[in-house]
């Protein structure tokens, strides 16, 4: 699936899993798929298992910072009906204002006495308008401050509308079905597109971390079975809120899948390797002082190796060495990111997986700008390099 098409279709973790399934479908019975809601694990067994068999694992996450519609969201003011959202992850609040917003997610319903689910993606656009400068005269001098409780209510219809939002969702269900619950989130409705004078960049919502998901699934789908290694593609959910869920990296999902493949823990040896792939901070041309001078990745400079002595990243001397050798053998450029000592470092799914499985894990990613904005930016070249790297892992 084309990268831009993948971005445009993957508007929630549930929709992302559906796209991943479509890409992997041609592999048929050569692979095994394991799903939990907005998470998916794909495994291609080796031709033969012996004492030198290893796990070759690529990890990413399907979720991203967003606004989720609350269970009882409806309100009204100044002639419009509003929806109250709850913050998911750490979105850049100001970027969600004055944008065309779509809505999508998962509906749970009762039919014939059983709980069933269905994907939904609305065809209407919502909006969160910001206050005009005439009514906020000092906003350009003082900066826009957004209160997430009071300033992010979504305008969705006129007061004359008769339906509550839940009643509107009911219309997406089969005849005779009764809505029980929903997981609906907002997303940037503007399609992904190429940018820059030579189309060298990609502008899109959800690049963090759909870029990594796409790189992994493209490499995995194109790979041939290894002689002795298990190829494993992992797409967790809930990384943006800490991963401590049944679909997250701190849960038992991956461990239970690997245990079902082989109970022999000897496969979890230093010879195995996991690539934890999440996006990395590229150096902003206007804010170079926000980076550690000797560790400031740039757009188009290659895959980023992420290191942190506080172990917020899983990278260690052994996994970093394996990563560097893999890059050298495949002629893939890489650069190194280390946070400034006076700035905190984020984390990824890597530490949880490495600690749980005992498999050497290295944290890497594509450099990007506008991370956690509703619309982000990355480089075409770096995405291609990442696909080649994951392909080398599975080779």
Q: What are the backbone dihedrals phi and psi of residue 308, each rounded to the nearest 5 degrees, phi first?
A: -155, 125
In this structure, the answer to whether residues 40 and 112 fall within a common structural domain is no
Same domain, 102 and 123: yes
Regarding whether 103 and 154 lie in a shared domain, the answer is yes
Tell me, yes or no, whether 198 lies in a domain. Answer: no
Q: How confident is the model at residue 280 (pLDDT cuts 50, 70, 90)?
A: very high
CATH of the domain at 166: 2.30.250.10
Length of the chain: 395
Per-residue confidence (pLDDT) for residue 52, from 0 to 100? 81
Least confident window among 10-14, 45-49, 162-166, 333-337 = 162-166
**At 93, is the pLDDT very low, low, confident or very high (cuts 50, 70, 90)?**
very high
Q: Mark whether 217 and 311 lie in a shared domain.
A: yes
The answer as to whether 193 is a domain residue is: no
Please determine, for residue 271, whether its predicted confidence score (pLDDT) is greater than 90: no
Mean local confidence (pLDDT), 326-352: 95
Q: What's the pTM value of the predicted model, to 2 decimals?
A: 0.95
- Under 8 Å between Cβ of 9 and 206: no
Q: What is the pLDDT of residue 232?
A: 98
Residue ending a domain, choose from 188, 223, 248 = 188
CB 364 within 8 A of CB 332: no
Residue 217 to residues 17, 232, 236, 384, Cα–Cα distance (Å): 11, 10, 13, 13
292 and 256 fall within a common domain = yes
166 with 301, same domain? no
* Residue 273 reports pLDDT greater than 90: yes
* 39, part of any domain: yes
Q: What percent of the chain is predicted at pLDDT more than 70?
A: 98
pLDDT band at 51 (very low <50, low <70, confident <90, very high): confident
Number of structural domains found in the chain: 2
In this predicted model, what pLDDT tens digit does every residue of 143-166 receive, in sequence order? 999 999 999 999 999 987 668 999
DSSP class of 180: E
Token pair recorded at residue 265? 């823990």
Q: What is the pLDDT of residue 160?
A: 77
**Are residues 265 and 229 part of one domain?**
yes
Confidence of residue 86 (pLDDT cuts 50, 70, 90): very high
Neighbours of 119 (CB within 10 A): 15
Q: Residues 226-247: what's their mean pLDDT?
A: 96
Which of 131, 158, 188 is a domain's end point?
188
207-222 vs 13-24: helix crossing angle, rounded to 10: 20
Confidence of residue 50 (pLDDT cuts 50, 70, 90): confident
Write down the pLDDT at residue 362. 97
Among 161, 188, 215, the domain-final residue is: 188
| Domain housing 299 | 3-63+205-394
Instruction: Classify 320 as helix, strand or coil.
Output: helix
For range 364-382, the mean pLDDT? 98
Residue 265: per-residue pLDDT: 60
In terms of domains, do 226 and 353 share one? Answer: yes
- State the average pLDDT over residues 332-355: 94
Confidence of residue 263 (pLDDT cuts 50, 70, 90): low
Same domain? 143 vs 254: no
Average pLDDT over residues 191-215: 98
Find where tokens 């894990």 sit.
361
Region of poorest pLDDT, from 51-60, 191-200, 373-382: 51-60
Task: For residue 288, tell me if it sits in a domain.
Answer: yes
The residue-averaged pLDDT of 263-267 equals 64
According to the model, what pLDDT value does residue 161 have?
66
pLDDT at 262 over 90: no
Amino acid 346: pLDDT: 85
- Same-domain pairing of 14 and 74: no
**pLDDT in the model for residue 53:** 87
Task: Determine the average pLDDT of the residues in 306-311.
Answer: 94
* 267, pLDDT greater than 70: no
With 0-12 CB in 10 A as exposed, 13-18 as middle and 19+ as buried, what is 64? buried
| Average pLDDT of the residues of the chain | 95
């Amino acid at each position: 699936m084309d990268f831009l098409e993948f971005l445009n279709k993957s508007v929630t973790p549930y929709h992302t899993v559906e796209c991943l399934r479509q890409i992997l479908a041609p592999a048929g019975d050569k692979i095994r798929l394991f799903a939990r809601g907005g998470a998916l694990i794909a495994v291609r067994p080796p031709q033969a298992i012996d004492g030198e068999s290893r796990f070759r694992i690529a990890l990413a996450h399907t979720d991203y910072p967003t606004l989720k519609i609350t269970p009882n969201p409806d309100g009204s003011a100044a002639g419009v009906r509003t929806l109250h959202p709850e913050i998911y992850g750490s979105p850049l609040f100001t970027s969600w204002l004055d944008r065309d917003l779509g809505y999508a997610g998962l509906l749970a319903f009762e039919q014939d006495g059983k709980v069933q689910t269905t994907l939904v993606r609305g065809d209407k656009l919502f909006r969160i308008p910001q206050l005009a400068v005439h009514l906020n005269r000092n906003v350009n001098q003082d900066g826009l401050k957004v209160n997430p409780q009071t300033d992010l209510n979504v305008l969705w219809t006129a007061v004359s509308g008769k339906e509550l939002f839940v009643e509107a969702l009911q219309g997406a269900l089969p005849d005779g079905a009764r809505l029980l619950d929903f997981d609906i989130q907002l997303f940037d409705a503007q399609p992904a597109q190429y940018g820059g004078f030579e189309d060298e960049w990609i502008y899109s919502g959800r690049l963090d971390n759909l870029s990594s998901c796409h790189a992994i699934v493209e490499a995995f789908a194109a790979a041939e079975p290894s002689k002795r290694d298990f190829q494993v593609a992992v797409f967790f959910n809930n990384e943006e809120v800490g991963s401590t869920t049944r679909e997250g990296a701190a849960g038992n999902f991956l461990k239970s899948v690997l245990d079902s493949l082989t109970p022999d823990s000897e496969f979890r040896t230093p010879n195995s390797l996991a690539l934890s792939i999440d996006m990395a901070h590229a150096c902003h041309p206007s804010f170079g002082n926000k980076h550690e001078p000797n560790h400031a990745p740039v757009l188009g400079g290659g895959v980023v190796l992420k290191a942190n002595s506080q172990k917020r990243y899983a990278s260690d001397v052994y996994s970093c060495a394996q990563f560097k050798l893999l890059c050298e053998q495949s002629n893939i450029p890489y650069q190194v990111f280390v946070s400034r000592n006076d700035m905190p470092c984020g984390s990824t799914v890597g530490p949880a997986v490495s600690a749980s499985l005992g498999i050497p894990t290295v944290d890497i990613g594509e450099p990007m700008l506008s991370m956690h904005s509703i619309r982000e930016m990355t480089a075409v070249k770096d995405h291609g390099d990442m696909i080649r790297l994951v392909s080398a892992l599975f080779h």
